[in-house]
Chain A
Amino acid sequence: MPDNVLDKIDPKILGERLKSARRAFGLTQEAVADKLGFVRTTVVAIEKGERHVAADELIAFARCYGRNVSELVKQSAFTEALTPQFRAALPNSQLETPLPEDQLFRACHELEARAEDYLELEQICKAPLPQNYQKPYPLEDSLISPEQFAEDVAQEERNRLGLGDAPISDLRAVFEAAVGLRVFFYEMPPFIAGIFGFNDRLGGCIGVNIKQPWYRGNWSLAHECGHFLTTRFYADVDIMQKGRWGKHRAERFADSFAANFLMPRSGVNRRLSEVEMSRKERITIADLVTLADYFGVSVQAMCLRLEVLKRIPTGSWDRLKAGDFKPDKARQVLGLLRSDRRHSKWPSRYLLLAKAALEMGELSESQVAKKLRTDIVSAREIMQELDSLVVYEEGEQFSVIPVDLASPVSAE
């Protein structure tokens, strides 16, 4: 008789995982006991790690919570999840109309799940994410306004990252490669712009709603990075609803950081002066749209920034809106509406690690598909795109020159 595998799994770790899965699914211990035909004390004892779980029971728990058994029994240590942080960050108490908490919570849980998957890929490939984290800037201790503090921090971060005051062509790459944040774009409910969470194990994790236009996604990303730089031990859920946070210092800082980091005062002023000098005319709406595109922000964000910088009169954006100005129509006319401009769902490093793990036989195709939140055939397509960049034909001979993006350049 072979050894019982369940005796080898730490009941405390398994119990914690079962508890976390139950909570994520929104069930009480009593409801689970009723559903599975157990007594409540059995569920309590299993979750506390005081009683070993039987094979049938484990399979029943997994099905009840919509989880895989493989997820529940994996051998990594259970660590405190980001999820409770998110629960505290959910802003319903500050809103006039409460938002559907289950949808908010699912979006937060998804960020954590993706970050966990990323970490697992790094562990498989023995390639930890290089983290270039500054100590949090002391926003709470600062005596100046959050807006002024944000301008100083944005400038310091730009200097630290060697960005000068030029537009950032790929903001995500900067935050991923130069800072070491985990950035994911995925579908969230329409009222969420972005999410931020942090713990020592996963590092800084940012989720951005992929349904937003490209430039709005940049703003959300920079906004969440603002939270990482200051109040990183508090999770954030950025809700697209007017007046949501009142004058909360952290939110004012994050918004102002986004504006200053994406549109640095000196860079915007210089570019604007170049435009003005070349034509000796005042700024036109076309200039505004072009400038927004140049800095990768929305026309509204650029217009409000120019108002703050006193380059255009206060209230200009309100007047444009009142005149039924349509930014997308303007972009189209100026040839700036590009359908290929969208954020990819996955960090390219994530895809390369998944491919390397597949090639090494450390992950199966099904496991890779689950990590990419897709089906097996779609996962194959994504993996193939990474390695068959060149098809070589010589006469009637068909051959593929594999260009494996996950392999080292100096491979022999």
Chain B
Amino acid sequence: MASILIQDACVLINLLASGRFEDLANGCGFRFAISAGVAQEALFLRNPDSVGREKINLERIVECGILEILTLESEAEKLRYIEIALDLDDGEAESVAIAECRHFALATDDKKARKVIQRRGMKIELWSTCALLQHWQSKCLVSDADMGRALANISSRAKYRPKFGHPDFEWWAKLLSK
């Protein structure tokens, strides 16, 4: 298992929405990171107390060392990034290029990103939002009720839920009703 997990914008939003980001970062057995491109994207969550949205402020969790922001370094990384940017958006392309070149794990739920990684034959350890949450639950013995609350937060604040037919659809629905 890789020591660093780089998250794309979508997974980052989901994990932050769960309200348990710090616990996940401490309990999953990875150091959490994102690319500078993802950090620069406009990241918002739904505000639970109003109909508006709130801007995600990464400053605190970066300062505390819970999340690391990585930039492209070598020429090889930059070239790989440009190559992947033919298919993916900048933030995603950076995340994939860094994960591949530095042998980090990558967390993405995105069908397209996974398709591109597979088509290009890239050897990257892949995680998803659900896989990370399940890993955290079993590793840290998180109760179903706590997990249900985290999933409810993700559903309401990040508007994410596995779709009908997704392998984790039943798991999500079951815990959500706890």
Specify which chain A residues have a CB less than 8 angstroms from the CB of B123 in the assembled complex.
Answer: none
Specify which chain A residues have a CB less than 8 angstroms from the CB of B41 in the assembled complex.
Answer: 366, 376
Q: What CA separation (Å) do A378 and B157 show in the bound complex?
A: 10
A151 to chain B, nearest CB (A): 47
Q: Interface residues of B, CB < 8 Å — how many?
A: 45
Specify which chain B residues have a CB less than 8 angstroms from the CB of A378 in the assembled complex.
Answer: 44, 53
Q: Are A377 and B159 in contact (CB under 8 A)?
A: yes
Within 8 A of A (CB), among B1-26: 8-10, 13
| Interface 9-mer from A100-108, A256-264, A302-310, A356-364 | A356-364
Greatest chain A CB density within 10 A among B44, B53, B72, B85 is at B85
- Which of A5, A364, A402 contacts B164 (CB under 8 A)? A402
Binary interface encoding of chain A residues 371-405 relative to chain B, with 1 for a CB under 8 A from any of its CBs, else 0: 00001111011001001000000001011101000
User: Does A365 touch B at the CB level, under 8 Å?
Assistant: yes
Q: What CA separation (Å) do A361 and B163 show in the bound complex?
A: 14
Interface of A is mostly: helix
User: Does B64 touch A at the CB level, under 8 Å?
Assistant: no
User: Does A73 touch B at the CB level, under 8 Å?
Assistant: yes
Given contacts A5-B83, A6-B79, contact A361 B177 (CB under 8 A): no
Q: Are A55 and B75 in contact (CB under 8 A)?
A: yes
Greatest chain B CB density within 10 A among A4, A59, A377 is at A377
Q: Are A366 and B91 in contact (CB under 8 A)?
A: yes
Nearest B residue to A363 via CB reads B112
User: Does B141 touch A at the CB level, under 8 Å?
Assistant: no
Nearest B residue to A359 via CB reads B111
Specify which chain A residues have a CB less than 8 angstroms from the CB of B82 in the assembled complex.
Answer: 5-6, 55, 58-59, 69, 73
User: Does B81 touch A at the CB level, under 8 Å?
Assistant: yes
User: Does B127 touch A at the CB level, under 8 Å?
Assistant: no
Q: Interface residues of A, CB < 8 Å — how many?
A: 39
User: Does B98 touch A at the CB level, under 8 Å?
Assistant: no
User: Does A70 touch B at the CB level, under 8 Å?
Assistant: yes
- Which of B43, B76, B90, B113 contacts A70 (CB under 8 A)? B90
Q: What CA separation (Å) do A396 and B165 show in the bound complex?
A: 19
- Which of B9, B79, B86, B176 contacts A376 (CB under 8 A)? B9
Q: What CA separation (Å) do A398 and B72 show in the bound complex?
A: 45
Within 8 A of B (CB), among A46-63: 55-56, 58-59, 62
Q: What CA separation (Å) do A341 and B46 show in the bound complex?
A: 26
Q: Are B79 and A366 in contact (CB under 8 A)?
A: no
User: Does B69 touch A at the CB level, under 8 Å?
Assistant: no
User: Does A249 touch B at the CB level, under 8 Å?
Assistant: no
Nearest B residue to A58 via CB reads B82
Specify which chain B residues have a CB less than 8 angstroms from the CB of A365 in the assembled complex.
Answer: 9-10, 109-110
Given contacts A73-B85, A364-B113, A366-B10, contact A402 B163 (CB under 8 A): yes
Q: Are A55 and B164 in contact (CB under 8 A)?
A: no
